[in-house]
Amino acid sequence: MDPTLIYVAAGAGLAALAMVCTAALRGWERWLALRAREIEAQRPETPIAGRIELADLRERVRQLEAIAAGVDL
């Protein structure tokens, strides 16, 4: 086998691997951007909605603490 053929095949394989890695990295970055947009969309739009959500969370915590303490609500 000719050494030039081996070098060309290795170079082609390395180039193909680089293209696959680049495509995978772009896909990963776009997926992360999509998830960030989804998380951002779940945020409350108004301060009042945030307060209501916080009050709901506090109530849930209070109920869980009561359950942990063995108190019937």
First to last CA, the chain: 82
- Name the phi and psi angles at 46, rounded to 5: -115, 155
Task: Check whether residue 21 and residue 35 sit in a common domain.
Answer: yes
Task: Check whether residue 2 and residue 24 sit in a common domain.
Answer: yes
- Position 21 scores a pLDDT of 97
- Position 3 scores a pLDDT of 92
pTM above threshold 0.85: no
Q: How many domains does the chain have?
A: 2
pLDDT digits (tens, 9 = 90+) for 16-49: 999 999 999 999 999 999 999 998 888 767 778 7
From residue 56, give the alpha-carbon distance in Å to each of 23, 36, 38, 65: 43, 24, 22, 14
Task: Check whether residue 38 and residue 53 sit in a common domain.
Answer: no
Instruction: Supply the range of the domain harboring residue 29.
Output: 1-42
Where does the chain have alpha helices with state H?
3-41, 47-69
Task: Check whether residue 18 and residue 50 sit in a common domain.
Answer: no
Distance CA 27, CA 35 (A): 12
Task: Check whether residue 31 and residue 62 sit in a common domain.
Answer: no
Task: Check whether residue 67 and residue 37 sit in a common domain.
Answer: no
Task: Check whether residue 33 and residue 50 sit in a common domain.
Answer: no
